[in-house]
Each structure stands twice: as C-alpha cells, then as structure tokens.
Amino acid sequence: MSKNNRFSITSAERYSLALFELSEENNLLSQIEHQSSSVLNLINQSKDFSTLIKDPTRSKEDLLKVINIISENNKFDILFKNFLSFLIKKRRFFFIERILKSFIEICSRKRGELKAELKSAKELSSEEIVKITEELTKNFSSKIKLNYKHDKSLIGGLVVQVGSTMVDTSIKNKLQQIENRMIEA
C-alpha cells in the first residue's frame, strides 16, 4: 500500500510540474491556476463529481464527455482541457485532486509566497484578515498566502501557522496546558 501511495505522490508531482511548464511556456499560468482552483472547488462541492473521479469502473468515454461539458461550461483553455483529457486517457484522472493542488503550490512557490494557516475563535472580518496577512508579510519578509478558518472550538484567541512556525494563543490551548500541568503534579 505504501509503495502504491508513494507512486501516486511521485506521479502527481510529475504531472503537476508538466502542467506548470506547459502553462508557463504558453503564458497561461494565471488562467490555468484559476481553472485548476475551479476544478478543485467542484470536487469539494459536488459529491457526484468526486465519486465519478474515484470510480475505476467508469469508461474513458464517459469521463471525457463529462470533462468536455465542464470545460465548455467554465470556458476552460484548450491546454487545460487537453491536459485533463490526457489524464483520463492515461487512466490517471483519479490523481486529479492531488495533481491540481500540487500545481497550485508550485505556482505559489514560484511567486515567492509562503503558505499560512489562520484559525480564530471569533469570525474575522476581511479587513482583520488583510491586517493579519500584512503583519505576517512584514514579519516573514515574504508574500503570505493565507488560508483562514473560523474554529469555534478554540473558545477564544488565534492559531497561526506559517511553514513550521506556529503561534497558538487560543484559550483551548491554554486550558490544555493547565490540564497537562495538573496531571503532571
């Protein structure tokens, strides 16, 4: 199983790098990145589409029809449509989610962005998120691509993770630390 999983990770990285290089050569990087995000959103929002991708019994023709319809409806670039069709023909379409996530990460790295995760107990406004992003950009001397989540379980405070650096000011974490000290005593 782990050997098969390793193969899928390596394959996904190769396909995503190939998509990146093709997009860059054709000056379509931002369009293909946007279209990749659209497909990832579709996978997350449509259980039917997600199931279709993972169904090994589906014929190539059925998958190609679906991709053609999605491509037309979303006005995908011919390069992206051909890439998706190629994955179907090579029976690699079940890797699509991993390939597109890897592709978006490559694009982000090439722009010099750092990936950051932000969780807050309180729902933050867009202005607050922008301020936090600007502060992180200053502190890390790099562009920050922030992924924000509202997490009520934190009770209060924030959790910020940039790369391997994590700052946890949540009440949940403080209570956990107190509990750990009480257990040790």
- Which domains does the chain possess? 2-109 (1.10.520.20), 114-184 (no CATH)
State pLDDT tens for residues 102-135. Answer: 999 899 888 888 888 899 888 989 999 999 889 8
Cα–Cα dist 154/170, whole Å: 6
State pLDDT tens for residues 13-63. Answer: 899 999 999 999 999 999 999 999 999 999 999 999 999 888 888 899 999
H helix or E strand, kind and range, residue 40: helix 29-45
Q: Is the pLDDT of residue 1 over 70?
A: no
* Angstrom distances, CA of residue 35 to CA of 2, 28, 47, 154, 160: 31, 10, 19, 34, 28
Tokens of 177: 């630390």
pLDDT at res. 89: 93
The answer to whether the CB of 58 falls within 8 A of the CB of 52 is yes
Tell whether the torsion through CA atoms of 108, 114, 115 and 116 is positive or negative. negative
The answer to whether the CB of 144 falls within 8 A of the CB of 136 is yes
